[in-house]
Structure 1
Amino acid sequence: MAWTLFDFVAAGVLLFGAGLTFVLLARMGNNTTYRVAVGVAVAAGLLLVWANMAVGLVGSEDNPANLLYGGVLAVALLGAFVARFRPLGMSNAMFAAALTYVVVTAIALFVWTPSGEVAEPQVHLVNVLVANGAFAAIWAISGVLFRRASATGSASNRQLA
């Protein structure tokens, strides 16, 4: 793969943004489980964006159906803000993101009807389903960890900044 300057800049922005997001959100909780849950959620978001930009999650990176995955990030972010970053609400937001991921994959596969040159015979449906299932599972794991953090009494009154 021959990376251009844009590819390096995009990777740097994604990695820096993910690291900064983790640092800011990890301060919101006072236990290790909350911080691990934040790490898993940030990693899920980073992997979603990176994979979508690099190879695409349904078909190739040029497939417009891949734009639907922005909805997963929107659900996770909106849910986190509505929950005020409290562990139980964050858990619900991550479960909602996992469910959104599954729904978006189903919609993308329904909308994406490969034919002709874009059929991409090397992309098998099973591979797409397994990869997307793994990504959805990462969001769900984050939800489980946030649920566990809420049970262990993470600080719910801490504010960002």
Structure 2
Amino acid sequence: MTLTKSILRVALATGLLLLIPLVAMQFTHEVNWTFSDFVFAAVMLFGTGLTYVLIARKWNNLTYKLAVGVGVVAGLMLMWANAAVGLVGSEDNPANLLYLGVLAVALIGAFAARFKPLGMSNAMFAASFTYVMVTAVALFIWTPTGAAAEPQVRLVNVLVANGAFAAIWAVSGWLFRRASTIGSNLNQRLA
């Protein structure tokens, strides 16, 4: 499939996914998206799909493509959850900004690895480790004071949710590691 067709498919999928809240808004008051919510969702969904298309086409390896999918979905979930409800306390908690470091580690690691499976594995494991460290810092070291303080944060809920998110990054790393051991693909595509 050509790159243009892949991008058109991503755009179509983005549009179809955005129809879900648009239709839901017609039937319930519990879904109340603003124009900016739709723009944010469109950028996030299209950006995630485009990232998958551009990276997954680097190798003709199903495990590699699956690893890319898990990694970009982990990034999407990180950004979406952080913007919607926050990962530590509410979305207004300034400690949530620390999670941008996880994305930075994943992206910088991916570019440094030139998207090769073994290097991508290391980048995803580093992102998982960074996720755990950011959660520890946000919960135990940098606790906001004053108006940003949130005494009602349930520690177990935060640890379980953030542990699950860190595990998704680790699964991506594991899949990239498997893709690297399956054998190097001599038919590597040049994008």
Structure 1 unpaired stretches of 5+: none
Larger Rg: 2
2:150 matched to which residue of 1?
A: 119
TM-score, normalised by the number of residues in structure 1 = 0.92
What is the CA distance between 1:115 and its match in structure 2? Answer: 6.8
Q: Which runs of 5+ in 2 are unaligned?
A: 1-30
Alpha carbons of structure 1 residues 30 and 159: separation in structure 2 relative to 1, 3 Å: closer
Deviation at 1:112, TM superposition (A): 1.9
Give distance in 1, aligned partners of 2:80 and 2:190.
Answer: 26
Aligned residues: 160
Report the AA paired with residue 112 of structure 2: V
Determine if contact 1:87/1:156 at 8 Å carries over to the other structure.
no
Residue 143 (structure 1) aligned to one of 173, 178, 182: 173
Which residue does 1:24 correspond to in 2?
Answer: 54
Report the Cα distance in structure 2 between the residues aligned to 1:154 and 1:25, rounded to whole angstroms: 16
Q: Provide the residue aligned with 1:41 in structure 2.
A: 71
Alpha carbons 1:31, 1:154 under 8 Å: kept: no
Separation in 1, partners of 2:66, 2:184: 12
2:143 is aligned with what amino acid?
A: W
Partner of 1:101: 131
Classify the secondary structure of the residue corresponding to 1:28.
coil
1:155: how far off? 3.2
Higher RCO, Cα 8 Å, sep 6+: 1
SS at match of 1:112: coil
Cα distance between partner residues in 1 of 2:190 and 2:138: 35
User: Aligned pair 1:76/2:106, yes or no?
Assistant: yes
Does structure 2 conserve the Cα–Cα contact (< 8 Å) formed by 1:75 and 1:93?
A: yes
How large is the RMSD of aligned CA atoms in angstroms? 1.8
Q: Aligned pair 1:85/2:115, yes or no? A: yes
Distance 1:89 1:52 in 2: 27
Q: Do residues 12 (structure 1) and 42 (structure 2) align?
A: yes
